[in-house]
Amino acid sequence: MSLHLGDIAPDFTADTTDGVLSFHDWKAGSWVVFFSHPADFTPVCTTELGRTAALHSEFAKRNTKALALSVDPVEEHRAWAPDISEVTGTPLNFPIVADPDRKVAELYDMIHPGEGDTSTVRSVFIIDPDNKLRLMLTYPKSVGRNFDEIVRVIDALQATDRDPIATPADWKPGERVIVSTSVSTEDAVKLFKDVVEVKPYLRYADAPAR
C-alpha cells in the first residue's frame, strides 16, 4: 500500500521494548515521530536512538511521542538498549517496535530492496493527533538523520495548524512567516503585525504571539 500525506496512519499491534502496543490507542491525542532504523547493534542507529532519547523533553513540550522500529526481535532491542545509554549518555526512554515478521515495515513501506537487504531504511513519519500523516522522509541506511530538522518540522506544522500561515525556507520558530495565499492582504493586516507585501502572492508577517 502506498501512503500519502493526509492519509490516516495505518494502525497496528506489535511487541515493543515497553510491551505490546496498539498504535492508535498508544498515541491517543499525541503527535508521533515514528521512525525505522536498519538494525540493532549498528553505529549510526545507536547515535540516532540516543539523540531521540535526548530530545524527550523537547518532544514532550510539543505533545509528541517517539516510536522506533526495526525488524529485529524484542530481545535484541532490549539487549542493545544499554549500549545506547552508554554511548550517547541518555537511556532509552521510548519504545522500539520489534517487527521480525516485517508486517509493520511493509504496512509503512519501510523496506526498499534496492538499499541492500530486507532491513528497514531510515523512514520518518510525523503523525498528528488525528492520526493523519503530516510528513514522510526517507533516508538511506548510511546517513544519520538530522533530528533538529524533525523538531523544526513539528514546530512548523503546529504553527501552520494554529494560524493561516506557511513557513518559508529554513524557517525557525520566532522568525517571520508567510501569510497563507487564502488570506487577502487587506485581511492579513487585520490578522498579523508588520505585513510586508513582497509580491501579491508573497506576504511576510510576524508570527502571532502565543
Which residues belong to the active site? 45
Q: Is 83 in the site for ligand BEZ (CB under 6 A)?
A: no
Q: Could you give the angle at which helices 147-162 and 43-54 cross, rounded to 10 degrees? A: 40
Query: What is the chain's Cα-based Rg?
Result: 19
Q: Residues near 32 by Cβ (< 8 Å), separated by ≥ 6?
A: 9, 64, 65, 66, 67, 125, 126, 127
Cell 547493534 belongs to: 41
Three-state secondary structure call for residue 85: helix
Q: Mask: binding to ligand BEZ, 138-177, rule CB under 6 A, as x and -?
A: ---xx-----------------------------------
The yes or no reply on residue 50 touching ligand BEZ (CB under 6 A) is no
**Nearest alpha-carbon partner for 210 in 170, 168, 159, 172:** 159
The yes or no reply on residue 76 touching ligand BEZ (CB under 6 A) is: no
Q: Is 185 in the site for ligand BEZ (CB under 6 A)?
A: no
Based on CB atoms, which residue is closest to ligand BEZ, 44 or 54?
Answer: 44
Inter-residue contact 188 to 179 (CB < 8 Å): yes
Contact flag: residue 29 with ligand BEZ (CB under 6 A): no
Binder of ligand BEZ out of 3, 17, 24, 44 (CB under 6 A): 44
Going residue by residue from 96 to 135, which x/- string records binding to ligand BEZ, judged by CB under 6 A? ----------------------------------------
- The span from the first CA to the last CA of the chain, in angstroms, equals 39
Using the minimum distance from each CB to ligand BEZ, give the nearer residue, 125 or 139. 139
- The whole-angstrom distance between residue 136's C-alpha and the CA centroid of its chain comes to 8
Strand runs (DSSP E) across the chain, as ranges?
13-14, 21-22, 31-36, 64-70, 96-98, 122-127, 133-139, 165-166, 177-179, 193-199, 202-206
| 38 vs 95 by CB, closer to ligand BEZ | 38
State which of residues 19, 29, 43, 200 lies at the interface with ligand BEZ (CB under 6 A): 43
Stretch that binds ligand BEZ, among 21-29, 37-45, 86-94, 127-135 (CB under 6 A): 37-45
**For binding to ligand BEZ (CB under 6 A), which residues are involved?**
38-39, 42-45, 141-142
